[in-house]
Homo-oligomer: A and B are copies of this chain.
């Protein structure tokens, strides 16, 4: 990559595992030291959801004190970040449109959700996603499909989120059940992101975070593993999802929690129970009566 001498280029190994708050803190320190604490004009995030989330989190952490872990949650960031541009090279996460920068902490996977963690500009160019490996394209695309279903079936929906989610869902189905192209997939990803900014995810995301935490699963893949057992919440869409799995010859692993000890399962349950907003969105204010620790364990055991 050609760049001016004062530019810094960092390769983030997003395919290895999800970005962590510690990585963000270290990257911020490294950049600021190398630049003699002079703030950059802009940060450009080129990659999939994780890489874009790294760019969003870094932008915020260059202008806010302490550790990224302090800002995981909703609207906890006081200062605007550096001007940031997002360029997706994998479609589906919607990170290019959303307020969220999801980061792994010690005990939780959690997003920084703030107006300051939104990109100032994005570039959607479908030629950049054409070489994504089939499985990765599928898992990331399903991230979009799943959060659109969660958004549309949730209680925290409004007409703007509905308009974007229903169109994104339609485009995802065109892409994965029929002959939709990369422009459609990239548009679905963006519109799905817009819908999530204005609504909330649901049961699948609440469970998938636990899988990422204990099994190191990448987000889209974890969502697929979880969604596959959620017939009672998202029946018709789970059926269509299985049709897509078949068409694209994707086989999901079975019994993924078999090797986990009781302590690990407990951490996954705790992680899920922390997802108050998604579970409220999916199940209403009394979600704790429905999503009990036993229920969560039984769902994980079916994956």
* A→B interface (CB under 8 Å): 124, 126, 158-160, 162-164, 166-168, 171, 181, 183-184, 186-188, 190-191
Contact = CB atoms under 8 A, between A and B. Distances in A.
B160 A171 contact: no
A166 to B, nearest CB: 7
A163 B148 CA distance: 15
Nearest to A115: B121
A168 B167 CA distance: 10
A161 to B, nearest CB: 9
B163 A166 contact: no
A260 to B, nearest CB: 41
Top-9 shortest CB links A-B: A159-B183, A159-B187, A167-B167, A163-B187, A160-B187, A163-B167, A159-B184, A163-B191, A163-B171
Given A126-B159, A159-B183, 14 more contacts: A158-B183, A159-B171, A159-B186, A159-B187, A160-B191, A162-B187, A163-B167, A163-B168, A163-B171, A163-B188, A164-B167, A164-B191, A166-B167, A167-B167
Contacts of A158: 183
11 contacts: A158-B183, A159-B171, A159-B181, A160-B190, A160-B191, A163-B187, A163-B188, A163-B191, A164-B167, A166-B167, A167-B167
